[in-house]
Chain A
Amino acid sequence: MSLLRNRPETQTIQTFEVPESRGITLASGHQLHLSTPCSIGVVRVELFWASGSFHQSKPYVAGLANDLMFSGNENRSEYEVIEYLDYLGATHRTECGHLGSLVVLRASKKNILEAFKWSIENIEQASYPGRELESAKMVRYASLERQQKTPKYWSSRIALETLYGRDNTLGIHGNPEDYENIHRTDLQQFKSEHYSMDRLMLFVSGDVDDALLDDFSTILSNYPGRIIAIEQHEFTGTPGKSKEAIYHRVEGTSQVNVNLGRHVKPANQRERFGLTLLNLVLGGYFGSRLMQILREEKGFTYGIGSYFKPAFNDFTWTISGDLKSENSVESLAVIHEIFTDLKSNLLSDNELTKIKQYYSGQFRGGFDGPFAMGGKYQHAMYRGLTMDYYSTVLPGIWAVTSEEIMVLANNYLDPESFIHVLSGDTDKT
């Protein structure tokens, strides 16, 4: 029996409803975004401040000030602060981006209130004790030294530095020795200016009820909040160029990491949708041209892909992968051939439908589960959009034509507009 005869019909995914969520202003004045509650016995609270590395005067200050919020204060040692959270079965992690920072707290429904109260109290009082700061600097110094032994680190760094300049937030990279110049007062000042309780926003999801929100508000009433908006910035410089590929040898490695990068400033939302699809075709999923040709046809790499990384409201478009050293230059030629093909030939209906369908499935699935909406709200906030934006995405994606994608390829896929960096075992290239 041929299974092909029985291939199931598939349905296209062209519409979906944005799951409910709501914005609340607590009696304390703090803004809170609440995902639809569900009875799962656990709660996640994201403590968000609209500040990050863009606001720091020295490398790593924003990240360290964020990471070390539980490192102790005048009243309690780091051990006392964290041990109690541990005892409650609560976990925490931190994230620091260009324009926003998070402490993500999660705990059982039974213990979330106590964990929240304890966290707020100790974050508010955090004073960055010397021993904990010195230890954290030492750990990060060594970790960065290890990263600097990998080709991927260097190709990414060199590409961004060349593209945006070493003085720009988007291009700047610290060095291990930068940690030596960070002092306790730097963190205290940064916290006081940027991670203060009046600037706090909350994203809450999981097993939540109104009584819990009232309790949060009561806890925060000691630190009256205010409405905070994420600053909107844009890259206004001229992206750097390099006429020739930049080679960077990393001793002891056995592959070459390629990194191609350029700045992309979409003209409008329609162009953003088109670029999303163009990136998918190029290297944005397993079925992309880069993966199919360089991995599945030639076997030159375990993985290569392309992606958009936010650069304020624009993007850095990056192609990156670890390649067999002997074939890395040939692989660059293949990448350029893919550019040429996308600029010269319309996508087939089949390929266009495939990427739209793939994107739609992933997009819709990205809203699944009790903890998805906080991140979606933050993404919209960074871009100055409302949640209504998400209901426009699938219609926008399905409206893109192959002609539009070809135009975008011609506008954006000029090899000379990409910085090319090859790093690693470059002697064999």
Chain B
Amino acid sequence: MHLYNKFLLKNGLRVIHLQDNTRTTVVLNTLYNVGARDEVSSKTGFAHLFEHLMFAGSENVPVFDKEVEEAGGQNNAFTNNEFTNYYLVMPSENVETAFWLESDRMRALTIDEKSLSVQRGVVVEEFKQRCFNAPFGMLWHHIRSVVYQNSPYRWPTIGLDIKHIEDAVLEDVQYFYNKFYSPQNAVISVVGNIDLQQTQALAEKWFGDIHKAGEANKNHYETDAEITERRFFETEDLSPNPAVFLVWRGPSFSHPTSISLELFAEMLGGSDVSPLQLKLVKETQQLNAAECFYLRGLGEGLFVIYGILNDGVTHQQGEAALLAVLQSEIGRGAELERIYQGVKNRYATQLLFEATQPMQLAQRLCYFENAGSLDDINRENEIIENIYLSDVLSVAEKTLNHNIVSVINYHPKS
């Protein structure tokens, strides 16, 4: 049970506090309700580029990182399709520096042409490093472009094209900052060696007088119709081994069946002896790697199963083998009761471990609050306990239908 406190500042900023006096540090985590889905299709990758610019300094704090480091802390950030998350980990005696810095860049970020130019270069190099220099580096480009055709989920966070990043201009930066980086569009969590009184005082002192026009992101996006057909895409890649990726769209984080797909993914591929591993890697040796996961999202989720093929195994055979294991597992019904109990047990253990990790906890508190379901963070075990195996298999059968699968085949680059 996480004994958190939540309060709201007059400017709309939501603050969540969780005390842990066994720590010498405090995590100040800030989530802004803006991600790649808030970009326009001709300027993709911008939310992530903007995340870089949040470290470029302000009138009051010319070099953000220097201040963090001088206080003995560390910080970083990440962006995904749905939100942007910043964190500071600070020695508890210097926690006020974290409030000062995070509030300052919410209040008065200053970006000039030089900062933008440098960060464009940095992000272009990040794009190359992640997408061009690693096997399957373009995977999310391919997956998203196949399963989405209209919605902004059709591009990955890094952006569709390097040119979009190279073309970003200061006007874009200012617009984005004004529109999305406001207290009413953010959640902060404060986790660690700090009490509620001090948290309230520091939050009010540093964030309380930030007032910005506009309202919170309403998160209205163009959507895609349900997929009713099999889709197919093939490409070449650095990987010396061919591969097959199977993808289905699934329900959003807040939908009751979302967690069922996560549990099913764990049953299908979450262990060294789960069916994908056991049947396709160990027994038939058709694949040299096989995994599956459900990427839960605020808008939608994506269920992915993949296999990397051994020599002599065709894409068709690989796909058929993956689908056969999937169907076979769904068909086993009550036979899977013990395995399902193991999955639930592992999930419960994982939650206990996560409770000891302030950074993860701080991020999860913000995530749940942003999703509108903060109380559920203390109900996860209960929610899972009340999901029966038959529910999980029923959701899997309905969602993971081979007639509506999107298939992405990878061939080694010739």
Contact = CB atoms under 8 A, between A and B. Distances in A.
Interface in B215-249: 238-241
B134 interface: yes
Contact of B352 (A42, A141, A295): A42
A370 B107 contact: no
B240 A146 contact: yes
* Most chain A CB within a 10 A radius of its CB, from B70, B104, B238, B241: B70
B125 A300 contact: yes
B374 interface: no
A236 to B, nearest CB: 37
Contacts of B73: 361
Nearest to A370: B356
A302 B356 contact: no
A393 interface: no
Given A40-B355, A87-B341, A286 B65 contact: yes
B42 interface: no
Contact of B273 (A3, A86, A296): A86
B82 interface: no
Contacts of B339: 83, 86-87
Contacts of A145: 240-241
B121 A298 contact: yes
Contact of A358 (B60, B72, B99, B310): B72
Interface string A107-149: 1100100000000000000000001101100110111011001
Interface residues of B, number: 78
B356 A369 contact: yes
Nearest to A42: B352
B134 A150 contact: yes
Contacts of A86: 271, 273, 339, 342-343, 345-346
A132 B283 CA distance: 9
Contacts of B345: 86-89, 108, 111
B214 to A, nearest CB: 22
Given A89-B349, A149-B239, A299-B119, A368 B23 contact: yes
B365 interface: no
Nearest to B357: A369
Contact of B349 (A70, A106, A322): A106
Contacts of B71: 10, 357, 361
A296 B69 CA distance: 16
B66 interface: yes
A123 to B, nearest CB: 15
Given A4-B60, A87-B341, A253-B133, A299 B241 contact: no
Contacts of A7: 100
B37 to A, nearest CB: 23
Given A13-B72, A42-B356, A91 B129 contact: no
Contact of A42 (B123, B126, B347, B349): B349
The 8 closest A-B pairs by CB, nearest first: A361-B72, A299-B121, A89-B345, A142-B288, A302-B126, A8-B96, A87-B342, A3-B60
Interface of A: 2-4, 6-8, 10-11, 13, 16, 38, 40-42, 70, 78-79, 82-83, 86-91, 106-108, 111, 131-132, 134-135, 138-139, 141-143, 145-146, 149-152, 251-255, 285-287, 295-303, 322-324, 353-355, 357-358, 360-362, 364-365, 367-371, 424
